[in-house]
Amino acid sequence: MALSPGVRDALALVLTFIVVLGGLYLYTGTWPPAVIVESGSMMHADSDVQYGRVRTIDPGDLVLVKEVGSVDEVETLVEGGRSRYGKPGDVIVFYPRDDRSRTPIIHRAVAYVEVRGGGYDVRWSADAPCEGGATKLQRDGRAWCRYGAAGILIPSVPVQGEGSTPAQPRPYRPSASGFITKGDNPVTNRHIDQTTLPQVDRPVPHAWIEGKGRGELPWLGLIKLALAGKPNEDSPPPAWVKIGSAYAPKDLWVMLAITLAVLIGGPLLYDGTKAMRARRKERERS
């Protein structure tokens, strides 16, 4: 039995969604295959980005989450890994204390530390000297910096203990092995998560990690945030604009409006033009 055009269109739409979502799942290995960024903790300084803030992680971005099979699959900032979202190293998505009922955090892996004996080993770039008085060594085919029992001090990140100052630096003494993480925002995230977020009171182990960020679909997630019913930021900057329940910089809202105009207005304009041409031809024939 022949299907009506409406049924065929509906089946084609469903099949398209299945193919797209299936392809994303096969690539990422996680479900759902993407997360919507809610906060501005990964934003860069305005001088570092252009209008619309593409290639950095901002509120309303949809970021693909690729599965991480082991800690060796995550590159860190201090290792000088490939640039991701404007800085070296991978951005990881993790659940604090592996609590899947919480909102996941998407922050940069700045260093990987192993607690060994009475000290700490930090994976490091093979081409860069250690910081904070550590000793460079080779182990397991990688470069490491070995810190003593006093703790880890990496001023360039900065990785340091709570209450540390330039005049009196205090090393950070992690309680377990894992990734030291930090948001890129230089205003709201000046220190590592492990000394500022109560729910991230230790380096992030592999078990907490949902995946690592890959690519972005900017702005479209602002629709979901605007309809969420609760603010995405408790203390947004004064210049941010609120629409619905979502706060975001004005240029992100402008880019969302332009994107929707193209996605929705383009096909409508095309169909309208086709209808006008068809009516014109009908009048010419009559």
- Residues of the chain with pLDDT > 90: what percent? 68
In this prediction, residue 267 carries a pLDDT of: 74
21 & 53 share domain: no
- Give the integer Cα–Cα distance in Å for 25 and 246: 28
In a domain, 265, yes or no: no
Question: Looking at the domain assignment, is residue 12 inside a domain?
Answer: yes
- The predicted-structure confidence for 154-204, as pLDDT tens digits, reads as follows 999 999 999 888 889 999 999 999 999 999 999 999 999 999 999 999 999
Q: Are residues 15 and 144 in the same domain?
A: no
Do 135 and 246 share a domain, yes or no?
Answer: yes
d(CA 179, CA 212) in angstroms, rounded, equals 13
Rounded-to-integer distance, Cα 131 and Cα 154, Å:
6
Give the Å distances, CA to CA, from 149 to 113, 114, 178, 192: 13, 12, 17, 20
Whether 162 and 179 map to the same domain: the answer is yes
Q: What is the pLDDT of residue 19?
A: 67
Q: Are 62 and 221 in contact (CB under 8 A)?
A: yes
Number of domains composing the chain: 2
Find the range with the poorest average confidence among 41-50, 75-84, 176-185: 41-50
Residue 160 structure tokens: 């340091």
The structure's pTM equals 0.87
E strand or H helix that includes residue 92: strand 91-94
Whether 218 is covered by a domain: the verdict is yes
- Cβ 120 vs Cβ 113: under 8 Å: yes
Angstrom CA distances, 95 to 14, 105, 160, 242, stand at 32, 6, 23, 27
Mark whether 79 and 190 lie in a shared domain.
yes
| Judgement on whether residues 14 and 78 belong to the same structural domain of the protein | no
Tell me the mean pLDDT in the region 108-127.
96
What one-character DSSP code corresponds to residue 204?
Answer: B
DSSP 226: H
263: in domain = no
Domain extent at residue 242: 32-250
Strand partners, 66: 212
Q: Is residue 185 part of a domain?
A: yes
Contact 140, 152 (CB under 8 A): no
Residues 222 and 119 in one domain: yes
Rounded mean pLDDT, 27-36: 76
213 within 8 A of 65, measured Cβ to Cβ: yes
What is d(CA 78, CA 86) in angstroms, rounded to the nearest whole number? 14
pLDDT tens-digit map of 228-255: 999 999 899 999 999 999 999 999 999 9
| Whole-Å CA distances, 125 to 120, 128, 142, 168, 224 | 16, 5, 8, 26, 40
Lowest-confidence region among 4-13, 36-45, 78-87: 4-13
Same domain, 113 and 96: yes
Residue 185 and residue 144 share a domain: yes
Is residue 259 included in any domain, yes or no?
A: no
* One domain, residues 105 and 230: yes
Q: Are 223 and 237 in a shared domain?
A: yes
Tens of pLDDT, residue by residue over 260-277, are 998 888 777 777 787 777
DSSP class of residue 278 equals H
Is 84 among the domain residues? yes
Q: Give pLDDT, residue 77.
A: 97
Most confident option among 2-11, 23-32, 42-51: 42-51
Q: Name the amino acid, one letter, at 19.
A: V
Query: 165 with 238, same domain?
Result: yes
pLDDT at position 24 is 58
- pLDDT value, residue 183: 97
Residue 266 lies in a domain: no
What does each C-alpha distance from 218 to 13, 52, 63, 107 come to in angstroms? 23, 8, 8, 17
Before 158, cis peptide (omega within 30)? Answer: yes
